[in-house]
Amino acid sequence: MKSKARERLVRVGLIVALFAIILLSLGVGHYAMPLNVVFQTVQETLTNTLDAQGKISAAMLYQVRLPRIILAALVGAALAASGACYQGIMKNPLVAPDILGVSNGASLGAVIAIFFGLGSFSVQVLAFCFGLLTVFLVTAASRGIGRGSDNIVIMILCGVVMSSLFSAFVSLLTYLADTDTQLPEITYWIMGSFARTSSTSSLVTLFVVFLIGIIPLLCIRWRINALAFGDEEAKAMGVNVKRTRGIIICCATLLTSVSVSFCGVVGWVGLIVPHMVRLLSGPNYETLLPNAMIGGAAFMVLVDIFARGLTTELPLSVVTAIVGAPLFLWMLFRGRKDWL
């Protein structure tokens, strides 16, 4: 009973934290908007009494801030959920969403589109397709090496190899890119940003793909608990291990690929957020997965506040590394008895 109460308390706390961070984020940026101005703008919009200054604030709020916050929340929820799922099925606390080379594969697709000047839409499409292609290549290679068996260690090693290969191709294209036009855009995209993809059409696309990936995971999250006990125990519980693991990997990869295709490579979110939530609410995926989604959304919006709160906007990967690395070391210290 205490465990259930604690899980509910953690979820309520995460939801409150998410809304508080969103309210804070609405006012942060080059165009400062205190909360009273935000509430006043919303009220005047509803009553249709906006003056000239109010219209400027409304445009900033509804066309810039709010879409970017929604984008950050969706990406954070997707990366945290995929990280939690990878860690569960592979029974490894160091697993991140890019363990199968998905992030570097998606990066290669985006860099190819930028290198050949195919446009922003093609960047997203190719990044998404290459991310999905990567997991199929890794899965096929691991099954070939393992002679049809689902060996997790072989799959991880194939992911590391594929990730290194794609990273090499990204470096090659970066080296060959035009230093005046292509190189700045490639570098900007690889380091991660929400600045260029927070349009309404992008949000709709991301939301639809997010639902396609997250709904199956939420429906079968109890099976991740079974897989955590081992394949034999899961089979004894009536779980089809091969099919369940395939569904989880495909959905988690889909979430990672679409996130990378919209905002570039963003590290640490899928690694540390599931750990933080696990420390707070326990390892039960019935509650861990939804809580990880909420925590990932809050963390990503908070990172975006730091990224755009300064005079010059910082890349997302820089902020997540600065915040994530010390936090992860602290979690290692706190849980050192469980790790060793």
Read out DSSP for 9-22? HHHHHHHHHHHHHH
Indicate the average pLDDT of the chain: 83
Residue 118 per-residue DSSP state: -
pLDDT of residue 298: 94
pLDDT score recorded for residue 13: 92
DSSP 313: P
pLDDT over 50 (residue 336):
yes
By mean pLDDT, which of 11-15, 74-78, 202-206 is the weakest?
202-206
DSSP codes of every residue in 189-240: HHT--STTS-SHHHHHHHHHHHHHHHHHHHHTHHHHHHHHT-HHHHHHTT--
Contacts of 226 (CB under 8 A, 6+ apart): 233, 234, 237, 239
- The count of residues in the chain is 340
Q: Which of 158-162, 310-314, 322-326, 332-336 has the lowest mean pLDDT?
A: 332-336
Question: Tens digit of pLDDT for each residue in 219-237?
Answer: 988 888 888 777 788 888 8
Does the pTM exceed 0.85? Answer: yes
Distances (CA, A) of 105 to 77, 136, 162, 198, 232: 21, 11, 8, 22, 33
Residue 92: burial class (beta carbons within 10 Å; 0-12, 13-18, 19+): middle
Domain 2-339: top CATH class: mainly alpha
110, pLDDT greater than 90: no
What was the pLDDT predicted at 1?
A: 44
Better-scored residue on pLDDT, 271 or 188:
271
Q: Residue 54 corresponds to which tokens in the numbers above?
A: 């109010």
Tell me if 288 sits within 8 A of 85, measured CB to CB: no
- What band does 132 get if pLDDT is binned at 50, 70 and 90? confident
Say how far residue 118 (Cα) sits from the centre of its chain: 25
Per-residue pLDDT reduced to its tens digit, 281-309: 888 888 999 999 999 999 999 998 888 87
Phi and psi at 144, nearest 5°, equal -65, -45
Closest CA to 194 of 25, 18, 14: 25
Mean pLDDT of 198-210: 82
- The whole-angstrom separation of Cα 200 and Cα 91 is 38
Q: How confident is the model at residue 340 (pLDDT cuts 50, 70, 90)?
A: very low
The Cα–Cα gap between 335 and 13 comes to 22
How many other β-carbons are positioned within 10 Å of the β-carbon of residue 309?
A: 15
Q: What is the mean pLDDT of residues 239-250?
A: 85
Q: Is the per-residue pLDDT at 182 higher than 50?
A: yes
Provide the token pair at 231.
């394949």
Higher pLDDT among residues 196 and 200, named by residue: 200
List alpha helices for the chain, DSSP H: 2-26, 35-47, 52-60, 66-90, 102-115, 120-145, 152-176, 182-190, 200-219, 221-228, 231-236, 241-263, 269-281, 285-308, 316-334, 336-339
Q: Mean pLDDT across the stretch 311-325?
A: 79
pLDDT of residue 301: 93
In the predicted structure, residue 203 carries a pLDDT above the cut 80 = yes
pLDDT bin (cut points 50, 70, 90) of residue 149 is: low
Position 175: which residue type?
Y
Mean pLDDT of 122-146: 82
Gap between the Cα atoms of 50 and 175, Å rounded: 51
For the ranges 89-98, 241-250, 306-315, the one whose mean pLDDT is highest: 241-250
Q: How confident is the model at residue 198 (pLDDT cuts 50, 70, 90)?
A: low
* Mean pLDDT along residues 148-170: 81
How large is the average pLDDT for residues 24-47?
82
Q: Report which of residues 169 and 44 the model is more confident about.
A: 169
Q: How many CB atoms lie within 10 A of CB 188?
A: 15
Q: How confident is the model at residue 127 (pLDDT cuts 50, 70, 90)?
A: confident
Q: Please report where in the chains the tokens 């909360």 appear, as a residue.
A: 35
